[in-house]
A and B are shown apart, each in its own frame.
Chain A
C-alpha cells in the first residue's frame, strides 16, 4: 500500500533533518519500539512489538537511511521479521521544506506485509500501516518541538 501525508514542525529545517538521523529519536518515535541500536551511517537494528488485528508480532528489523540530500530529503527503509506473524517492510521518503511556522515535513510511505499479517486482509493492514506512519511522524514532531505529549482532554 502507499500513502502520503505531511506535518508542520515548529523547528528549523536543519534541526528536523538531524533529528531523523538519531537512534534515540527512532526509539522514541517507532511505535512499539523496544530497542534501537546503531547509527545513521551503518544502519539501525530495532526490535518492535505490534499487534495487527488478532496477530501479535515481535519484529526484529533493520532500518537503513538512503538517498540522503542533507537538509532536504532522505529515505528510511525498514524491514522487520516477525516469527509466526510474517514480515513487514516499508520505505518512507521524507522531504523537508521551509515553512512560515518552521518546517514542512512531507512523507510518502510504501509498506508491504507478508505471512499471517497479510492474510488478514488489506482492510486491517492499510489502517494499521497508516496508523504506524502517523504515529511515527506525530511523535517525531512532538519530540522535536520539545513538548510532552498532550494528554487528551475530557471533552475529547
Chain B
C-alpha cells in the first residue's frame, strides 16, 4: 500500500527510462543510420557580409566518396527560402533566408554549399576544396553600429537596420516622475549568448521516391512544427512528412527553431532521393545555432518616500542578428524583455519601448526564459537602486510593492500582462527564513568593516508558462499551442499514452506516466509513453514555454477521466451497481463490497475479445484523446523568488558564489525530484549568463571565441549548492493545477547574481552595467568608481 501511495502525484520517483541513458543505451540522432546513408559537410560564409560571386567545385568533386556539391541556386529550384514576417507583427521586417546562400550572405557561418559524400570524413575533405569567390560587403555588428544614422544595411534589400519597434504601456509617463521622492536611473548591457546543447543539432532526412514520403529524424523540441515547416518549404503535403525526435541531448529553446542548414539537408535528400545525415560540429554550432539575449536597455523608476513604485520608463534595444529565426521570429525575446519589466510589482505608470535591430551576426532566437531573464534583471536592479535611494531594506522594498492578485482577481497590468494567483509574499517569507536573511545581513555589515565585500541579492519573478494560442494565433503563425494525450487501454490491460509533449531530459514523460498511473492506482511501469513522433502522437505543441505538465499533464488527466468513466460504467453494469460507487485501486475495481475481481486486464480482454459479455452489448472506446489549451487565460503565470550570496574580490574582480536559494511556485508538483532539478539546471544557466557566457564578435563580424575552450560555460567546480523550496498554489486554469517550471531558474538566476553583485559593491560605489560580469569588467567598474571619487 505504501508503494501505491508513493506512485501518484507528489512522489519523488526516479525517471522511467533513465537507466537506459545511464548505461549508454540512449538513441540520439547521430546513433541512427540507414542503408545508403549520405553525409553532408557545409562550406560556410567566412565574412559577416558578402556577395557570392562564384563557387569552384571541381577539386571537391574529385575527392573519393564525394557524391555531389550542391549550392544555393540548385536548392532554390526545389525549396523556398524561409520568409519570417508574421503578418500580425506590424513593422516587422526580415529578409528571406534561403537554405543555402544564393547571392548575399549576412553572417559569418551562414551555409553556402553542401558537400555530399559517402562518409562525413569524405564530405569534410571535399568541403576543404570548395573555393568561394566573394565581394566583401560592409558589416554591422554591434547594436550601436546598427542604430547609427549612416549605418550600412545588414541586408541590401533594406535601407536601415530597424526590424521591430513597439511600445508597451502609456505613451507618456512623465507625470509619475514629477514630484516623486526618488527617481533612479540605470543603463544595462546584456551579452549575446547561445544555448550550447551538449548534443549539437543534427538531422537524418530520407525522401523515399518509392513511397513519396519524407521521413526526418531530428534532435528537436517540436516535431509537429517541423513537419509543417518541411512540407511548406518543399511544397509537400504535410501528410507525406513524418518527423521524429529521438533522444535529444539538451535543447533549451535552441532546438525550437527551423534552421537553414537543416532545411538544406532535407532538401538535399529530396533532390538526391537518398537518406542524408547532417550533424552540426561544435565549431559550427557556435556560429550557426540561434543566439540570444544581446540587448541594451535603460530604465528609470520613480518611487515615493515610503518606497512605493510610482512609475517605470524603459527602453530596450535588442540585437536580432541577420535574419528572424523561422518560424517564430526573433522578436519574442525583445518583446518579453520589455513587457515583463516590473511584472511582479504594482508599478504605477508604465512605459516600455522596444526596438529590434538587424546585425551581421547569427540570428537570435529563443533560449530558456526568452526575454524574461532580461526583464527580471532590469527590474530587480532598479528595485535595489530605489531601495538604496529610499533607504529601505531591499527585501522590504519588494514586499511593499508585490502584486497580490490572489486577492485582487485576474486583470491585465498596464503592460498588458494577465497575471493571476501570485504568491510572492509567501515565497519571500520562506526564502528569507531558509537563507537566514537577517543573520546574513549582520555578517555582511561586520565583514564590510574588514574590507570583505559580500553581497546579498534578491530576484523576484513572474514567468509566463504554458502559453496558449493567444500568442502565435493572432500573429498568423501556424504553431500548435495545445497539448494532447491519446490514451489506449491495451488488450493486456496496460496503458499507452501517446502525447504531443516532448521530453529532452526534463522528465515530463515520466511525470505524465506517474500521473496516469496514479489515476488508475497502478505502477508507472504499467504506462507506456510514446512521444516525439508525428507518425505516432496526436497533434500539439511539443516543448516550449514551460508547457509539459501544465498543459500536457492536464490533457493526460482529462484523458484518464474519460477512459476511466467508460470502464467504470461497463464495470457498474457487470457488478449491478452505480458507477459512482466504483474506483480503481492497484488497477483493480473496488466496489461497495470491496475487491470486485475486475481489473484493467479483465476489462480490456472483455472489450477487445468478448464484447458480447457486456451487459449492454456495448463497450467503451479503448482509445480516448484529449487536447488542452488554456482558454480563459493567455498563459499560466508562475512566480518565485531567488537569492544569492556572493563575495567579490576587489583586487581581482572575481566573484565567488557562496550560496543560492530559490522558492518557486509551480502549483501542483507531480514529481519534486524532477521539478527541483529543472530549477537547479535553469539557475546554473542563469549563473553562466551572469558570470561567464558571451559570444564575442570582432568589429567586422568574426566570431572570435567559438570553441568550448573559449566560450566559458559553468563547470562543477564553480557552482554552488542550490537550496530549492516550494510554495504550491495550484492554478485554477486546470484540474491538475500544475504551472510551468522549466525556465523559472534561468528567469531569476541572472537577476539574483546581478543584485548580489551590486549589493557587494555598494561600499566601492561601483556598478557593473555590462553582463557577463567578468573579472575585467568588475575591476574596471571598481577603478572607475575610485577615479570618480
Contacts and interface: CB of A to CB of B under 8 A. Distances in A.
Are A and B in contact, CB atoms below 8 Å, in the complex?
Answer: yes
Interface of A: 56-58, 60, 81-87, 113-116, 118-122
Contact of B128 (A82, A121, A122): A82
Contact-residue size bin, chain B (C-beta under 8 Å from the other chain)? 20 to 34
Contacts of A121: 704-707, 709-710
A123 to B, nearest CB: 8
28 contacts: A57-B128, A60-B131, A81-B133, A81-B134, A82-B46, A83-B132, A84-B42, A84-B124, A84-B127, A84-B130, A87-B46, A87-B47, A114-B108, A114-B700, A114-B702, A115-B45, A115-B47, A116-B44, A116-B283, A118-B46, A119-B283, A119-B286, A119-B704, A120-B283, A120-B707, A121-B704, A121-B706, A121-B709
A119 B286 CA distance: 9
Nearest to A124: B707
Contacts of B60: 83
A119 B287 contact: yes
B131 A83 contact: yes
Residue among A84, A85, A119, A122 facing the most chain B CB atoms (10 A cut-off) = A84
A88 B627 CA distance: 56
B698 interface: yes
Contact of B702 (A56, A81, A118): A118
B128 A84 contact: yes
A120 B108 CA distance: 13
Contacts of A113: 702
Interface of B: 41-47, 60, 108, 124, 127-134, 283, 286-287, 698, 700, 702-707, 709-710
A11 B5 CA distance: 94
A113 B710 CA distance: 17
A56 B128 CA distance: 8
Nearest to A53: B707
A56 B134 CA distance: 21
Contacts of A115: 44-47, 108, 702
Nearest to B132: A81
Nearest to B706: A119
Contacts of B283: 116, 119-120
Contacts of B286: 119
A119 B132 contact: no
A89 to B, nearest CB: 10
B131 A81 contact: yes
A83 B133 contact: no
Contacts of A84: 41-44, 124, 127-128, 130
Nearest to A123: B710
A104 B489 CA distance: 89
Contacts of A81: 46, 131-134
A86 B128 CA distance: 9
A86 B704 CA distance: 13
A8 to B, nearest CB: 36
B704 A122 contact: yes
Contacts of A122: 704
Given A115-B46, A119-B283, A83 B703 contact: no
Nearest to B700: A114
Contacts, number: 73
A114 B444 CA distance: 48
Given A84-B43, A84-B44, A86-B46, A118 B128 contact: no
B128 A58 contact: yes
A20 B47 CA distance: 31
Contacts of B134: 81
Contacts of A60: 131
Nearest to B57: A83
B128 A83 contact: yes
Contact of A114 (B47, B130, B706): B47
B127 A118 contact: no
B131 A118 contact: no
Contacts of B287: 119
Given A84-B130, A114-B47, 20 more contacts: A56-B128, A57-B128, A60-B131, A81-B132, A83-B60, A83-B128, A84-B41, A84-B43, A84-B128, A87-B46, A114-B108, A115-B44, A115-B45, A115-B46, A115-B702, A116-B283, A119-B706, A121-B704, A121-B705, A121-B706
A83 B130 contact: yes
A122 B47 CA distance: 17
Nearest to A84: B127
Nearest to B698: A118
Nearest to B710: A121
Contacts of B705: 119, 121
A81 B136 CA distance: 12
A81 B129 CA distance: 10
Contacts of B46: 81-82, 86-87, 114-116, 118
B43 A83 contact: yes
A71 B133 CA distance: 35
Residue among A115, A119, A120 facing the most chain B CB atoms (10 A cut-off) = A119
Residue among B128, B286, B706 facing the most chain A CB atoms (10 A cut-off) = B128
B697 to A, nearest CB: 10
A60 B131 CA distance: 8
A31 to B, nearest CB: 18
A118 B45 CA distance: 12
Contacts of A56: 128
Nearest to A85: B128
The 6 closest A-B pairs by CB, nearest first: A115-B46, A119-B706, A86-B46, A84-B127, A118-B702, A83-B130
A113 B700 CA distance: 11
A57 to B, nearest CB: 7
Residue among B46, B127, B700 facing the most chain A CB atoms (10 A cut-off) = B46
Given A84-B43, A86-B46, A118 B129 contact: no
A152 B44 CA distance: 41
A136 B130 CA distance: 26
A61 to B, nearest CB: 10
A119 to B, nearest CB: 4
Contacts of A86: 46
Contact of A119 (B47, B133, B700, B703): B703
Nearest to A83: B130
A51 to B, nearest CB: 11
A112 to B, nearest CB: 8
A60 B283 CA distance: 23
A60 to B, nearest CB: 5
B707 A83 contact: no
A85 B698 CA distance: 17
B702 A119 contact: yes
B707 A58 contact: no
Contacts of B703: 118-119
Nearest to A87: B46
A113 to B, nearest CB: 8
A85 B46 CA distance: 8
Contacts of A116: 44, 46, 283
Contacts of B702: 113-115, 118-119
Contacts of B131: 60, 81-83
A85 B127 CA distance: 9
Given A115-B46, A116-B283, A119-B283, A83 B706 contact: no
Nearest to A86: B46
Nearest to B56: A60
Nearest to B284: A116
A121 B42 CA distance: 21
A136 B707 CA distance: 29
Contacts of B130: 83-84
Contacts of B42: 84
Contacts of B700: 114
A79 B132 CA distance: 13
A83 B704 contact: no
A119 B707 contact: yes
B239 to A, nearest CB: 37
B117 to A, nearest CB: 13
B383 to A, nearest CB: 39
A111 B277 CA distance: 37
B129 A58 contact: yes
